[in-house]
Amino acid sequence: MSIQENIRLDDEMRAAWNSHDIEKFLAICDDNIIWHDVASPQPYRGKKGARQFIQGWITALPDLNYQEKNRLVTEDAVAVEFEFSGTNSGRIQIAPGAGAIAATGKKVTAAKGTYFGRTRGGKWVEFSSYPDVAGLMMQLGLMPKPGGTAAAKSN
């Protein structure tokens, strides 16, 4: 693929995430996509796994929006630094098989992350995502901020 084709593919993915259009997102994923995420011990496999991954984020943050900050593109790969925001009004499922965390109702702003994706034939074939889970949990009040106190701290 050309660099321009990969830029277009990345732009289509961001548009699908921001419009919460799971079918549009899956249309640009290879049938056998492998999705690695820092919070999951096992990769998500195939379109079923990719659906599970994006659905988990949309459930947790139904108004999820992410903006690209930096992007590096080659003929077969895309690397992006991004920020995301949203309101945690749905349960959080960090990884398949892990317990869910109840919605906090809190707003997440300027949370950070990176991803690295490989492309072939106009589709995403492999993806590695690294959202700042600790920063997200701090904003949701589920983890103490540096220099702060834990919400569950007892005296």
This prediction has a pTM of: 0.86
Instruction: Report yes or no on 97 lying in a domain.
Output: no
Residue 48, domain member (yes or no): yes
Domain assignment present for 153 = no
Within a domain: 95:
no
Residue 96 lies inside a defined structural domain of this protein: no
Tell me the pLDDT tens digit for each residue of 12-53. 999 999 999 999 999 999 999 999 999 888 999 999 999 999
For residue 138, the 8-state DSSP code is H
DSSP state of 144: P
- DSSP letters for 13-79: HHHHHHHT-HHHHHHTEEEEEEEEETT-SS-EEHHHHHHHHHHHHHHH-TT-EEEEEEEEE-SSEEE
Quick one: how far is CA 134 from the chain centroid? 14
Buried b (16+ CB within 10 A) or exposed e, 86-110: bbbebebbbeeeeeeeebbeeebee
Q: How far is CA 132 from the centre of its chain?
A: 10
Cα distance between residue 45 and residue 51, in whole Å: 10
Task: Report residue 155's pLDDT band, with 50, 70 and 90 as the boundaries.
Answer: very low
**Number of domains the chain contains:** 1
CATH number at residue 20: 3.10.450.50
151 belongs to a structural domain: no
Q: What pLDDT, in 10s, does the model give residues 51-60?
A: 999 999 999 9
The torsion defined by the Cα of 136, 30, 45 and 75, in degrees rounded to 10, comes to -60
For residues 127 and 111, what is the distance between their CA atoms, to the nearest angstrom?
A: 20
